[in-house]
A and B are shown apart, each in its own frame.
Chain A
Amino acid sequence: MKILIAISSKEYSGPTLDVGMNIARAIQSSTTIVDVGQKISEFSLKDVSMANEVMESWDIDRPGVDVLEWAYNYLSENQFIEEQALKDGFPKNVLIESGTGRAEVLLKGSALENLSMILRNGDIIKELRDEVNTHEYDLTIIGGSGKRSMAHDMIQYIDSSIFVVNNFNINENYKILLAVDDSPGTAKAVKYGVRVAQAFNIKVELITISKDKHLVEENKKASDYAAKMMRRSGVEAQRIFKTGDPVDTIIETAGTNRIIIMGASSQSPITKFFMGSKPLNVMENCNCPVLIVK
């Protein structure tokens, strides 16, 4: 399994790294940390790259390297990587161009086999989409800052599961709120639910929402299945049955101290594009971290 963690600035990316690295460690996945920098106009692409080269000869980092260096130090301070993994510290002067607008920090051949750090420049959705498509990540983890404006495009175009680390507080006692119904996405969402619960060692609430009073038989079956999976994996789970509008109910139940996990909508991309979807509405309006499983 491969995880992509998108960070943007030192001020806001700590929680994103915490969440991402905890999951990565629990499932022993390989992880890539990416910083997507500003889009450079094509007219000036070469002028900027020439200026960057001159800056290197002055030992001035090219923009973005400082963010990756900060991330590296953050990981080692928080024991996500061994402090002595790289003898001479972060190798900021060793950037390898690996595609148009993509540069990788040379970490290979070190003790950090499962970690890559890359810089990209351009429109964030396009860059993340390219990265996910060419390097086949299973999960993209991103901070909550651009949540509303980017939610639609992320759900629509990024072909991996998406974890938006929105309002995450490391000291909060989180539970997982796992949305369970008869849709095809539920089974995969349950699997992710187990992994995240194990990564953070937290409890799970399985929420099943029906539009009116009587519980649909299929929904009940789905809830039974989820509860069984939790039991087998040794994850403590509690079942909740509610009636009402699914989106509102999930957001209301989640409050600020749940991590919402739900399957992606199975509607056609065109319907989703014009009409939106439940995961999209949840992502746009919730006040807590949310993971949409594709």
Chain B
Amino acid sequence: MFGFSARSVSDILFWVTRKKWLILSFLLSISFFYVPSPDGLSPEGHRTLIIVLVALILIISESIPLPGVAILILIMEVILGVDTADGVASSFMSDAVFFIMGSLMLAVSLVHQGLDKRLALLVINITGNKTWSIVLGFVGISAFLSSFIGEHTVGAMMLPVALALIRNAGLSTTQATKLSTLLLFSIAYGCAIGSIGTPSGGGRNVIMIGYLSEFGMAEISYLEWMKFAYPMLIIEIPIVALVLWFTFTPEQKMMDSSVRKLKVKVAKTGKLTANQIMAIIIFILVFLGWIFLSPIIGLGIVALSGVFLYLSFGLVEWQEINRNTNWGVILLFGSAISIGIQMKETGAALWVAEETLYYLEVIFQDIAVVRWFVSVIVTGILTNLLSNAATVAVLGPIILDMGGDPIIMGIMTSIASAFAYLTVVASPTCMIIHSTGLISSSDYFKAGWKLFIISVIVLLMVSTFYWPILL
């Protein structure tokens, strides 16, 4: 047909069916380009929103590789005249991107030290051998650790501990049981609630701090953030453990032989090595740097200093970091923040904020309720479809333009973006436990919807009764 071989026609058809979202986003962007700009929206703002739409479709559908989306955002920003090439480049790199890059590299460096066996020992020494206390311990320790070192690291280190316990209990590590579901979700949801605790718990917290500072709205230090968010984390630990326990109650109420076997296995690894001690010391230095130095030099630079120390002390090879760092994600977050800043500067964020307030006020009658609805519910839903950092990068500028106290709105949005309980793609830890083949997509809903609702209520209480005392 038209000189094409059947093979190449078939190739084209395959491409079209797999790339239908790419084609749709292309067609939509062209049609919206020719729609006249609505009142109150500048032409640049109009075009910025087109880029946001295209990016959202492509990220959710994953129809092209993520770095491809990142690059497309940058190209469109320049070609559609939203900003100059240099302007786009400077909005692309920021301390928040340094932080995301640094924390991903720190995760590789830490996981590389083989501290997971130590961690296993710590966990079972704390929890003992009752299944219930192991679940509580898993949730608590995952939450505590991920609040400081990020969920990537904790997910990768806790997963084998859970699987080893499951295997030692005489169960298969390839066939799902209630016990396996329970333990794996304890890690994933523990990490999710933990990631709100400090700015370094997740890239999205740093993105929000960056926006607040960039837009001249507020400066939040590491400790201030903790004052706002940590109490909520502590309240959620027992709630998550209880909800998981009653949703996936296992037959095994005691795991004594399983825990004993794990202890024997871990005991073989011997004492902490010099490198491991050094690795822990460096991480504590980074943590202190985040608390005391970040107001002056930025969270990202502190994280990168940690990476520098790991590299220069020979605790991790560059090849190792290079191989296990997700450069595509770093590019994507850089672009997402860039488009977020353009949304603010072109007035697109303000326009969307005002339109949303206008229409939703008709429904809810109260502007405070509308703000709450968008920053918590809309963020919570979007975070389950997109990645949580991308959600904050895109929604952040809009929510901050809706009025209200910027610190409360900002932290509330960041916290709601951690309610990633419902889908596999919602967070890295959700994906890590799914990749074991022990968790099916529908399992996420079973406990997830309960936790989503409870978390929304807890956030509402904390933000209404506790936060105003801090301001």
Contacts and interface: CB of A to CB of B under 8 A. Distances in A.
A2 B13 CA distance: 26
B13 to A, nearest CB: 6
Nearest to B390: A43
Nearest to A39: B62
Contact of A268 (B1, B111, B328): B1
A54 B111 contact: yes
Contacts of A38: 434-435, 437
Given A43-B425, A270-B13, A51 B432 contact: yes
Nearest to B329: A43
Given A50-B152, A51-B432, A60-B173, A41 B425 contact: yes
A52 B155 CA distance: 11
A245 B433 CA distance: 50
Contacts of B163: 55, 58, 60
A8 to B, nearest CB: 11
A63 B436 contact: yes
B435 A48 contact: yes
A285 to B, nearest CB: 23
Interface string A22-45: 000000000000000110111111
Contacts of B434: 38
B261 interface: no
Interface string A48-77: 111111110110110110110000000000
Most buried by B among A48, A61, A67: A48
Contacts of A241: none
A46 interface: yes
B387 interface: yes
Contacts of A61: 173-174
B428 A44 contact: yes
B18 interface: yes
A273 interface: yes
B432 A47 contact: yes
Given A60-B173, A270-B9, A46 B324 contact: yes
Nearest to B62: A42
Nearest to A129: B14
Contact of B428 (A47, A129, A159): A47
A156 interface: yes
B11 to A, nearest CB: 9
A50 B1 contact: no
A40 B326 CA distance: 13
A49 B324 contact: yes
Nearest to B114: A57
A156 B18 CA distance: 13
Nearest to A157: B14
A269 interface: yes
Contact of A159 (B7, B65, B427): B7
Nearest to A123: B18
A40 B157 CA distance: 19
A126 interface: yes
Given A60-B164, A156-B10, A159-B7, A43 B159 contact: no
A43 B387 contact: yes
Contacts of B164: 58, 60
Contacts of A54: 111, 116, 156-157, 159-160
Given A42-B328, A63-B436, A159-B7, A55 B159 contact: yes
B437 A41 contact: no
A60 B167 contact: yes
Interface string A156-167: 110100000000
Interface in B297-342: 324-326, 328-329
Contacts of B232: none
**Chain B interface, DSSP helix/strand/loop, else mixed:** helix
Nearest to B152: A47
Contact of A40 (B6, B160, B387, B435): B435
B18 A126 contact: yes
A57 B163 CA distance: 12
B13 A273 contact: yes
Nearest to A55: B160
A157 B11 CA distance: 8
A67 B175 CA distance: 11
Contacts of A46: 104, 324-326, 329
Contacts of B432: 44, 47-48, 51
B435 A51 contact: yes
B229 interface: no
Interface string B111-127: 10010100000000000
Given A51-B432, A54-B159, A63 B152 contact: no
Contacts of B14: 129, 156-157
B160 A268 contact: no
Contacts of B431: 40-41, 43-44, 47-48
A157 B326 contact: no
B430 to A, nearest CB: 8
B96 interface: no
B424 interface: yes
Contacts of B429: 47
A129 B78 CA distance: 37
Interface string A104-133: 000000000000000000000010010000
B382 interface: no
Nearest to A42: B66
Contacts of B387: 43
A54 B173 CA distance: 15
A60 B116 CA distance: 14
A153 B10 CA distance: 11
B424 to A, nearest CB: 7
B108 interface: yes
Contacts of B173: 60-61, 66
A196 B62 CA distance: 41
Contacts of A43: 66, 326, 329, 387, 425, 428, 431
B434 to A, nearest CB: 7
For the complex of A and B, the 10 pairs showing the least CB-CB separation, nearest first, are A44-B431, A46-B326, A47-B428, A51-B156, A58-B160, A63-B437, A44-B428, A269-B10, A269-B9, A66-B174
11 contacts: A38-B435, A42-B329, A47-B156, A47-B431, A48-B428, A48-B431, A50-B156, A51-B156, A153-B17, A268-B1, A268-B6
Given A41-B425, A58-B163, 15 more contacts: A38-B437, A40-B435, A43-B326, A43-B425, A44-B425, A44-B431, A44-B432, A48-B435, A51-B156, A52-B435, A66-B174, A67-B174, A268-B1, A270-B1, A273-B13
